[in-house]
Chain A
């Protein structure tokens, strides 16, 4: 199972890096892209750890079985199951990205799922039909979704429940990219979050919702966004008209 995952990631990685390199020449998004590339490398490393863990787990179980230690095996199994839940949910989430036919976006989403899972955040996806040809430049799309997911990860990491839901919904004349995450009780009001350069933490990547607004306002009449903060959840809903 992990092998096939690795193959998918490596394949994706190779094609997406090519795409990214071409962007580097025509765009000045070098720093963002560099970050994403280093995330691919991190992804590969994580998968190597998984493989290593897997062998260890099987060996461990083998020892309990050999000693006919049913109680020990039960405990061990429970522990492993608990620890592997975030990894499992990550894997099913990743399988839903197969519907994203825009490689750069798919790759970005996968790397963010990995990043979130590493922080103990449970990520679930809802993408039920193929997503292609969004009416937006790919670099801008990745920048915007990158910011939304970074914010979601930051918000969820600070919360108690630690979850993110990400979905792409196909409407008649538009696509909606919806991200929902658990967040802490105290969230600044939306108008403050939206203020240019606003960031809840000085050290944070510094990407605020204001940047998305700026991209949309200067370049995209066909994009609208809805934001909701309610009951310790944060929703960002990006609508791209065809």
Chain B
């Protein structure tokens, strides 16, 4: 379990390092601080070559001043899909958490807050638990690169993909979100595991999350009661797949 620290101020970095050391020893002997640096470049280089390992990144960047810290996180996310990213910042600015959503950051820690140390421990624990319980084959996630961003979707959450206009826009429906990106259903079909079935020119459905199949009215009802239409041509294929998957 690799820990990386990036912070440009020497004293602050040593501080953060010693806090992390102290906390990590309480949780497990398997943690290793593999890099503690002031250079974002070194962090990116590491992510490039070690993305198959379990990494947690503590990035201390002046988030209030510019988007650089955000860009670093984003770059890391592109290279290391599963890595845990924690931002450590001197400035409390609540709305920065919006970035969390964009690059799937684990946490934001405000240095000046009294609970900072505890948060570091909680994050290390979460990382530790995640690594321990990791399924053997990490194929449950489907990642979609939009060119500008990466959407990481969990197979068990996905209901269906849908084309929404003539301009090659796809909307994916999951249990908690709907996300849009450019592409064709064909591209997606090539990307998803076998439990997906095309049921219509514009629908690709996750069979695992179908609740009901109404053959007479050519309708599929998903587990959240959302409805998709099946075209007659695809019905046979769908029934086949439903019985085999």
Contact = CB atoms under 8 A, between A and B. Distances in A.
Contacts of B179: 226
Contacts of B93: 124, 126
B27 interface: no
B95 A126 contact: yes
A19 B113 CA distance: 44
A230 interface: yes
A190 interface: yes
Contact of B98 (A163, A167, A174, A190): A167
A228 B167 contact: no
B177 A224 contact: no
Interface in A158-193: 163, 165-167, 169-174, 176, 178, 180, 189-191
B99 A173 contact: no
A227 B177 contact: yes
Given A126-B93, A178-B101, A180-B101, A224 B180 contact: yes
Contacts of A171: 148-149
Nearest to B164: A217
Nearest to B225: A189
A125 interface: yes
Contacts of A217: 164-165
B169 A126 contact: no
Interface in B43-98: 63-67, 70, 93-98
A194 interface: yes
The B interface is mostly helix, strand or loop, or mixed, namely mixed
A221 B165 contact: yes
Contacts of A114: none
Nearest to A191: B226
A178 B149 CA distance: 14
Interface residues of B, number: 33
A167 B95 contact: yes
Contact of A180 (B70, B98, B164, B173): B98
Give the contact-size bracket for chain A: 35 or more
B147 interface: yes
Contacts of A241: 148
Interface string B157-178: 0000000110101000100111
Interface in B11-43: none
Nearest to A233: B101
Residue with the highest number of chain B CB atoms closer than 10 Å, among A126, A194, A230 = A126
A154 interface: no
A190 B178 contact: yes
Interface in B129-152: 147-149
A208 to B, nearest CB: 15
A35 to B, nearest CB: 25
A189 B98 CA distance: 22
A225 interface: yes
Given A178-B101, A194-B178, 9 more contacts: A126-B98, A166-B95, A166-B98, A167-B96, A167-B98, A176-B102, A189-B226, A191-B178, A229-B176
13 contacts: A126-B95, A129-B66, A166-B98, A169-B99, A173-B147, A173-B148, A178-B98, A178-B101, A178-B102, A191-B224, A224-B182, A226-B180, A227-B177
Interface of B: 63-67, 70, 93-99, 101-102, 147-149, 164-165, 167, 169, 173, 176-182, 224-226
Pairs A-B, 3 closest by C-beta atoms: A126-B95, A224-B180, A228-B177
